[in-house]
A and B are shown apart, each in its own frame.
Chain A
Amino acid sequence: MPALGRLAVCLALLCATFSVGASVAGAGWRRRDLVAAGAHAAYAVFALVAVAVAILLRALLTHDFSLEYVAAYSSSTLPVQYTVAALWGGQKGSLLFWVFVLSLFTTLVQLQNRERNRELMPWVTATLMVIAVFFLALVTFVTDPFELLAAPAREGQDLNPLLQNYWMMIHPPSLYTGYVSASVPFAFAIAALATGRLDDQWIRTTRRWALFSWFFLSLGNLFGARWAYEVLGWGGYWAWDPVENAAFMPWLVSTAYLHSVMIQEKRDLLRVWNMVLVLLTFTLTIFGTFLTRSGVISSVHSFTQSGLGPFFIGFLVAVILVAGGLVAWRLPELRTRGTIESFLSREAAFLFNNLILVGIAFAVFWGTVFPVLSEWVRGVKITVGPPFFNRVNAPLGIVLLFLVGVGPVIAWRRATPRNLRRAFAGPVGAGLAAAVLLRLAGVPLGWAHATFALGVFVLGTVVQEFWRGVRARQAMLHEPASRALARLVGKNRRRYGGYVIHVGVVAIFVGVAASSAFRVEAQQTLAPGQEMQAGRFTLRFERTESSEDAHVARLAAVVSVREHGRQIATLAPEKRLYKKPQQPTTEVALRSRLTEDLYLVLGSYDPKSGLVTLLAYVNPLVSWIWIGGAILALGTAVAMWPSALERRERAWAPGRVGVPAK
């Protein structure tokens, strides 16, 4: 079977290479048969890579330890869900998984565009298949997941225990989906540049793909944060690790694009800028993969140094040169004659929003690569850690939150003083009132205070938009409020879905600000029956409990929690010792409420004295980060759901292009 897997990958590489050649030749010579052959070859790539993935998965599930990959990343005692997750738990498997997702999306794009975008599609196929060729070449020649051991191992070395967690089941696939789906708008952008079809057709076609990619990047980042929060046991969720930064940068640029593209659709402005953002998003996904796999920057959770770095840097340089060259070539045609007429306009607000988002992405990039730069220039290794990123990004984040409120309500083209009063009097008043009330309630002035007040301002703008929309429908159509709200959203899904996303963003900002600024920490060594204080909670160490199975040994400290003299919970933070890699891990105990999390870590245990060291963190409002993620998902679903008009159009004319944007 492994030989069949390797054969499938080799054939997929041949098919992908053929697809590139046939598609480009078909586009150049206007030969529809060649274009069709290129598309069919892309389908074959998907089928062959699916076979390879199925074979590797089967090898994992049947514990075929003759395969080096299976022996290195699984064991016979590994629970089945983590055995499946081992598919992307190691370097080789994750690259194969990557190309599987890419070939799946290529197939979906082909199916979506069978009867449309005929001029663009050969170039789209060629671009996606060039990316597939790169990854398949790596899997074939550099990191073969079907490599056999000289002698089959008797037992596997197991998956890294830190990855044996629910969130690790869904974090990497989400992130890969976000990364890989960014290839689709990129491929259409390259196709638009290659063909000169620079109107907004490619943008309309990829609108949902861009949102889909952004959504999965958002989820990937949030799932990763949740994993870090539950598994790493340091009370936090984001450490500005280079690999976290690698996933955050494309998200920032993609967010900028989703806003600025509205200006192109509405006013036919910023064509060059939007093109650059799409190309940059994809480039950053490759840069992120390079960071994770090259070992050039040390990171807590990157793959081991693998020699893949030069290949990725080569591909990255090629992508930048080709994309940059195409933009330079088409620059005169990309330029638009329209202008932004005023500072006080939605266009200007969106532009400044773009500036801040790309500015934060640049700050993160700069901080991530600065250690390398320092070593080159001065020959001195330095660390650029959380204090740098927090201090640099906090002021930029505050400006961004302010613009989240301004953008959706300020008038297009030029806002008059009357427009501004009408749009902002209520939300600004609410924000100021919140600032004063929070101050009176004892919240000190600072980033957190500003975030809360601005959050209220943004919520004010959203509530006002919904309120005015509903009132207008009620006045004109005499609908009851619930129906008016449903129809308002149903007829403007993208707009109101966007507003819901903004509510999610506010929740995330508030959760991050509160948990960063007002966290309470306590650490104490206790004997059974002794107590410690963490904020308003009294923690009493009762006893230890241990259990063991073939896979892992567990030691738990049972801790009863009292608040104002009343027992409210019993928590049991654990230390685990995984047997195959003989690695200890921390299993935190959480009492999660809307107001705060009580986060308990068993730091150490001395079996002789029976003493345990407990670390307790009280993280205010941290749940709002995850709730914000759920609200964001809801808003994205609303925004992506096809409108009735689009569904009718598809039903009646499947071969036609989608409806124009509002």
Chain B
Amino acid sequence: MTRLAHAAALALAVVLGVAPLAAAPPTQQEVEEALTCQCGCGLTVHACNHLQCPSGEPMKREIAERLARGEGKETILAAFRARYGEKVLSAPTFKGFNWLAWVTPFAAVLAAALALGLVLARRSRGPAQGEAPAPPAVDPALRARLARELEELEREP
């Protein structure tokens, strides 16, 4: 089950383009976008442009220094995480409980699509297939509406 879950997570990561497929060095922007500014603006470090932001500016400088030293993205993110906690990452990790954050929306949509597909498939295999059934002499909805409108007509002064 765990292996299956890991395989699914990996497949999802590949589809979403978040797995480190190529060994290209990370860019400054890439790392800045993976971190949240701690000044309270709610933006990523890359997006925060507060004047001399006490959080964003030093973080940007540190990222540049670490990249210049040849550190990888994961190492840099781990360093910031150790300092500020998990909240510094701008998106949940793919591990443990956080895995649910990524998988749940897709699982919900796929499950609903599957259920919908099954219902439609069952109905389209039913008697409706082939020749269309002869319509009833009077549509029941129309009949109900007629009755209702007549009733309304009678009720009105």
Chain A residues packing against B (C-beta within 8 Å): 199, 233-236, 239, 241, 268, 298-300, 337, 339-343, 348, 351-352, 355-356, 359, 362-363, 366-367, 370-371, 374, 377-378, 380-388, 391-392, 395-396, 413-414, 521, 575, 584, 586, 601, 603-604, 615, 655
**Complex CA distance for A239 and B145, rounded to whole angstroms:** 48
Given A234-B47, A343-B120, A381-B85: 12 more A-B contacts, CB < 8 Å: A234-B43, A239-B42, A239-B43, A339-B128, A359-B105, A362-B105, A383-B86, A384-B92, A385-B36, A385-B42, A387-B34, A388-B102
Interchain CB contact under 8 A, A343 and B117 = yes
**Complex CA distance for A340 and B156, rounded to whole angstroms:** 37
Residues in B whose Cβ lies below 8 Å from that of A233? 49
* 10 sampled A-B residue pairs with Cβ under 8 A: A199-B148, A241-B42, A339-B126, A342-B124, A374-B97, A382-B98, A387-B90, A391-B17, A392-B106, A604-B52
Please name the residue on chain B nearest to A243 by beta carbon.
B42
Distance in angstroms from B5 CB to nearest chain A CB is: 17
Q: Size class of B's contact patch?
A: 35 or more
Asked if B24 lies at the interface with its beta carbon under 8 angstroms from chain A, I say: no
Distance in angstroms from B121 CB to nearest chain A CB is: 7
How would residues 80 to 118 of chain B score, 1 for a CB under 8 Å from any chain A CB and 0 otherwise?
Answer: 000001111111100001100110111011001100110
Residues in A whose Cβ lies below 8 Å from that of B47? 234-236, 239, 386
Interchain CB contact under 8 A, A604 and B109 = no
Residues in B whose Cβ lies below 8 Å from that of A234? 43, 47-49
Partner of A341, one of B97, B112, B124: B124
Known A233-B49, A362-B108, A601-B49: A387·B101 in contact at CB below 8 Å: no
Distance in angstroms from A466 CB to nearest chain B CB is: 30
Chain B residues packing against A (C-beta within 8 Å): 15-18, 29, 33-34, 36, 40-44, 47-49, 51-52, 85-92, 97-98, 101-102, 104-106, 108-109, 112-113, 116-117, 120-121, 123-124, 126, 128, 132, 140-141, 144-145, 148, 156
Interchain CB contact under 8 A, A363 and B105 = yes
> What 8 A-B pairs have minimum CB-CB distances, sorted nearest first?
A363-B105, A359-B109, A385-B90, A387-B91, A388-B91, A300-B42, A381-B87, A234-B47
Interchain CB contact under 8 A, A382 and B105 = no
Residues in A whose Cβ lies below 8 Å from that of B43? 234, 239, 300
Please name the residue on chain B nearest to A355 by beta carbon.
B112
Residues in A whose Cβ lies below 8 Å from that of B15? 395
Distance in angstroms from A573 CB to nearest chain B CB is: 11
Interchain CB contact under 8 A, B144 and A384 = no
Partner of B88, one of A366, A377, A383, A604: A383
Residues in B whose Cβ lies below 8 Å from that of A348? 120
Residues in B whose Cβ lies below 8 Å from that of A380? 85-86
Interchain CB contact under 8 A, B148 and A382 = no
Residues in A whose Cβ lies below 8 Å from that of B145? 199
Partner of A392, one of B52, B85, B88, B102: B102
Partner of A381, one of B41, B86, B104, B128: B86
Interchain CB contact under 8 A, B105 and A392 = yes
Please name the residue on chain A nearest to B104 by beta carbon.
A366
Known A355-B112, A359-B112, A363-B105: A374·B98 in contact at CB below 8 Å: yes
Interchain CB contact under 8 A, A366 and B101 = yes
Most interface-central of A235, A387, A388 (chain B CB within 10 A): A387
Interchain CB contact under 8 A, B36 and A586 = no
**Complex CA distance for A340 and B125, rounded to whole angstroms:** 11
Residues in B whose Cβ lies below 8 Å from that of A655? 156
Partner of B109, one of A340, A396, A521, A586: A396
**Complex CA distance for A81 and B25, rounded to whole angstroms:** 51
Residues in B whose Cβ lies below 8 Å from that of A604? 51-52
Most interface-central of A339, A377, A395 (chain B CB within 10 A): A339
**Complex CA distance for A352 and B114, rounded to whole angstroms:** 11
**Complex CA distance for A235 and B16, rounded to whole angstroms:** 24
Distance in angstroms from A554 CB to nearest chain B CB is: 14
**Complex CA distance for A556 and B108, rounded to whole angstroms:** 51
Residues in B whose Cβ lies below 8 Å from that of A381? 85-87
**Complex CA distance for A140 and B130, rounded to whole angstroms:** 65
Distance in angstroms from B109 CB to nearest chain A CB is: 4
Interchain CB contact under 8 A, B44 and A386 = yes
Partner of A355, one of B102, B116, B126, B148: B116
Residues in B whose Cβ lies below 8 Å from that of A382? 86-87, 89, 92, 98
Please name the residue on chain B nearest to A267 by beta carbon.
B141
Known A233-B49, A234-B49, A601-B49: A391·B18 in contact at CB below 8 Å: yes
Please name the residue on chain B nearest to A602 by beta carbon.
B51
Interchain CB contact under 8 A, A342 and B156 = no
Distance in angstroms from A428 CB to nearest chain B CB is: 22
Distance in angstroms from B19 CB to nearest chain A CB is: 12
Partner of B51, one of A298, A385, A521, A575: A575
